[in-house]
């Protein structure tokens, strides 16, 4: 313990107008945090101020990050400000490293008041890259809209912040560090912990590690290839998959976390994990996976590079959910997907008579259902899958879920997927992103589309492309009413639903200084067993043609559309 009490200062500051947190927190370029005076301090103070002082005093908070550039600098500031704002203990992953799922897990395990996660997820890192700050509440999940709105309102009027500028933490040494502060009766404590161990303990209670060890290192073991993409997940893969479950050390690649992710884009999809895809095409490996910067997203591959869409991945896990011991004990309360995600999960829910929830986009909506005991498994088209043991999506959990299914069924990834399609039908799926679109043009196009689909005459309309006919069964501007608290989230995207289960969705997903982003989702359902193995581009072409005709999106946005990360399959 330090000899003399550390000074607690209250310093003046000025507000910024652009600190509105999104569903994944506040993301900006690194240089914004570095060059704008008190930009970091302001936002952190507003997080602390959003928590009632009585709850904050003497409380415990968890802090971790994906290891990107500026991570350690920000953690020192957060600790200094936590001490000055009455927090009693801060628990931090060694070297500031802790995956987003592990932070959620630890918040719940030690009953912390919340946690601060330093990540910009799958966005690039480094001095010219992105940096992000996300606040998770006591349930371990992303702060709900009421909290993020409060933080934003405070950020617009903030006049001062509290800090202990002389407090310095050794992030590299596991153990407790105590600090005496001026006018504080109890010392402030920082605890540096192994970022993997608590999380790994939870996974041991969910999966049968003996069965998985036999799969990965027994007499008839499979060969796997896991790409950490130089994000936070590397130490978790090495410790759990290699050291504990026996997969060879060389099955884990790019597993050293780097501040700039090795100059790569830590986004687990066919574009940015192309090296893994090429390696898998060789046929040397039976199973492959990639993870994003903070470890909450995943991509699943089979032998010869067979790609499993995120929408299909959660559906397969649902159909084989009792291959996972956790669900044998807890039962299954419900399934959920975000609205733009393909309806593959719906088919499993219907067949198993398990409740399905179609939510607005954002993991916090799943968390609300989980807290109410209504949801066990969920997923989204942007490579997120998770369960109710934490309140975040979890890339490594999804990989262990798939390996559990492989261990029980003793089939290849491709055979499991094709059996699934034969049983439930196939949802051919793709997404197109129209980025940096003029905001006025994007809004006008969406308004015109809404007028079209809300016209009663639109229902029943038949669109003919080639020999195929599509009849509109329903259309709306999707709004989600939370069955737990009744909160309504409006304007979540325009849906056109056709008889037979196919869908077209248009969504204005966000705006920034470069313009707006419009996303077009195509979800084509096919149950004819003779059409389950078409070229996906052929299967989707008709609906794509209808979507382009209805929206005139190329002409109105002056963009051709970039195929999104979930790609055609």
What span, in angstroms and rounded, lies between the C-alpha atoms of 260 and 254? 12
Average pLDDT value for residue range 223-248: 98
Q: What is the pLDDT of residues 298-311, one digit of tens each?
A: 999 999 999 999 99
DSSP E strand stretches across 388-487: 426-437, 462-465, 468-477, 480-481
Residue range 273-287, pLDDT digits in tens: 999 999 999 999 999
Q: For position 512, what pLDDT does the model report? A: 54
pLDDT, averaged across the chain: 95
Measure the CA–CA gap between 337 and 380, rounded to whole angstroms: 6
Q: What's the CA gap between 476 and 505, in Å, rounded? A: 10
Residue-level pLDDT at 2: 47
- pLDDT (average), residues 132-142: 97
Share of the chain above pLDDT 70, in %: 98
Mean pLDDT, residues 482-502 taken together = 96
Is 426-568 the same fold as 199-424? no
Mean pLDDT to the nearest integer, 109-130: 96
Q: In the prediction, which pLDDT does 389 show?
A: 97
Q: Determine contact, residues 344/428, Cβ cutoff 8 Å.
A: no
User: How far out from the chain centre does Cα 19 lie?
Assistant: 21
What pLDDT was estimated at residue 565? Answer: 59
Q: Are 403 and 212 in contact (CB under 8 A)?
A: yes
Give 568's pLDDT tier (boundaries 50, 70, 90). Answer: very low
Please report the DSSP string for 459-501 in residue order: TT-EEEETTEEEEEEEEEE--EE-TTT--EE----EEEEETTS
Q: What's the pLDDT tens digit per position in 187-200?
A: 999 999 999 999 99
CATH classification for the domain delimited by 199-424, as one of 3.40.120.10, 3.40.228.10, 3.30.450.40, 3.30.420.40: 3.40.120.10
Mean predicted confidence (pLDDT) in 67-86? 98
- pLDDT at residue 414 in the model: 98
Please compute the mean of the pLDDT values over residues 51-56 and round it to a whole number.
96
* 8 Å CB contact between 339 and 480: yes
What pLDDT, on the 0 to 100 scale, is given for residue 559? 83
**How far apart (Å, rounded) are the C-alpha atoms in residues 345 and 356?**
8
Is CATH 3.30.310.50 what the domain over 426-568 is classified as, yes or no? yes
In sequence order, what are the residues at sequence separation of 6 or more whose Cβ sits closer than 8 angstroms to the Cβ of residue 417? 302, 306, 308, 312, 316
**Predicted TM-score (pTM) of this structure:** 0.96
CB 75 within 8 A of CB 63: yes
pLDDT tens digits, 373-397: 999 999 999 999 999 999 999 999 9
Q: Which residues are catalytic?
A: 121
Superfamily of domain 9-194: Alpha-D-Glucose-1,6-Bisphosphate, subunit A, domain 3 (3.40.120.10)
Closest CA to 513 of 3, 28, 139: 28
pLDDT tens readout for residues 467-479: 899 999 999 999 9
Helix, strand, coil tally for the chain in percent (to 5): 35, 25, 35
Where exactly are the structural domains of the chain? 9-194, 199-424, 426-568
């Amino acid at each position: 313990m330090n000899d003399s009490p550390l000074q607690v200062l209250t310093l003046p500051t000025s507000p910024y107008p652009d600190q509105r947190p999104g569903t994944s927190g506040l993301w900006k370029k690194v240089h914004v945090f570095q060059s704008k005076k008190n930009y970091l301090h302001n936002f952190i103070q507003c997080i602390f101020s959003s928590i009632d002082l009585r709850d904050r005093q003497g409380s415990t908070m968890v802090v971790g990050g994906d290891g990107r550039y500026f991570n350690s600098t920000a953690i020192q500031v957060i600790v200094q400000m936590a001490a000055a704002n009455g927090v009693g203990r801060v628990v931090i992953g060694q070297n500031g490293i802790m995956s987003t799922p592990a932070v959620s897990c630890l918040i719940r395990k030690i009953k912390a008041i919340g946690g601060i996660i330093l990540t910009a997820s799958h966005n690039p890192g480094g001095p010219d890259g992105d940096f992000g700050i996300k606040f998770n509440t006591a349930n371990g999940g992303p702060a709900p809209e009421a909290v993020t709105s409060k933080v934003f309102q405070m950020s617009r009027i903030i006049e001062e912040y509290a800090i202990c500028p002389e407090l310095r933490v050794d992030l590299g040494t596991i153990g407790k560090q105590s600090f005496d502060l001026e006018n504080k009766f109890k010392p402030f404590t920082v605890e540096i912990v192994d970022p993997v161990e608590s999380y790994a303990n939870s996974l041991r209670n969910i999966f049968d590690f003996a069965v998985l060890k036999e799969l990965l290192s027994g007499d008839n073991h499979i060969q796997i290839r896991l790409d950490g993409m130089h994000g936070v997940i590397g130490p978790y893969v090495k410790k759990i998959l290699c050291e504990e479950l026996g997969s060879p050390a060389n099955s884990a690649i790019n597993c050293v976390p780097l501040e700039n992710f090795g100059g790569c884009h830590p986004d687990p999809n066919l574009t940015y994990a192309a090296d893994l895809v090429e390696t898998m095409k060789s046929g040397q490996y039976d199973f492959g996976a990639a993870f994003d910067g903070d470890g909450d997203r995943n991509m699943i591959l089979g032998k010869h590079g067979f790609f499993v869409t995120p929408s299909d991945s959660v559906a397969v896990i649902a159909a084989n959910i009792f291959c996972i011991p956790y669900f044998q004990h807890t039962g299954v309360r419900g399934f959920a997907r975000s609205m733009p995600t393909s309806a593959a999960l719906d088919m499993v829910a219907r067949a198993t008579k398990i409740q399905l929830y179609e939510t607005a986009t954002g993991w916090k909506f799943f968390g609300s259902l989980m807290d109410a005991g209504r949801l066990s498994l969920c997923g989204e088209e942007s490579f997120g899958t998770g369960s109710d043991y934490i309140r975040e999506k979890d890339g490594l959990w999804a990989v262990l879920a798939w390996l559990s299914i492989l261990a029980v069924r003793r089939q290849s990834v491709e055979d499991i997927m094709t059996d699934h399609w034969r049983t439930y039908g196939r949802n051919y799926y793709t997404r197109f992103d129209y980025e940096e679109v003029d905001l006025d043009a994007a809004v006008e196009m969406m308004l015109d589309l809404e007028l079209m689909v809300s016209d009663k005459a639109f229902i029943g309309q038949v669109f003919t492309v080639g020999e195929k006919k599509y009849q509109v069964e329903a259309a709306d501007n999707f709004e989600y009413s939370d069955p737990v608290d009744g909160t309504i989230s409006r304007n979540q995207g325009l849906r056109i639903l056709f008889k037979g289960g196919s869908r077209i969705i248009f969504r204005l997903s966000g705006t920034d200084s470069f313009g707006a982003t419009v996303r077009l989702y195509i979800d084509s359902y096919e149950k004819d067993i003779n059409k389950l193995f078409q070229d996906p581009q052929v299967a989707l072409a008709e609906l794509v043609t209808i979507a382009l005709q209805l929206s005139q999106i190329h002409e109105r946005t002056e963009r051709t559309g970039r195929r999104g990360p979930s790609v055609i399959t």
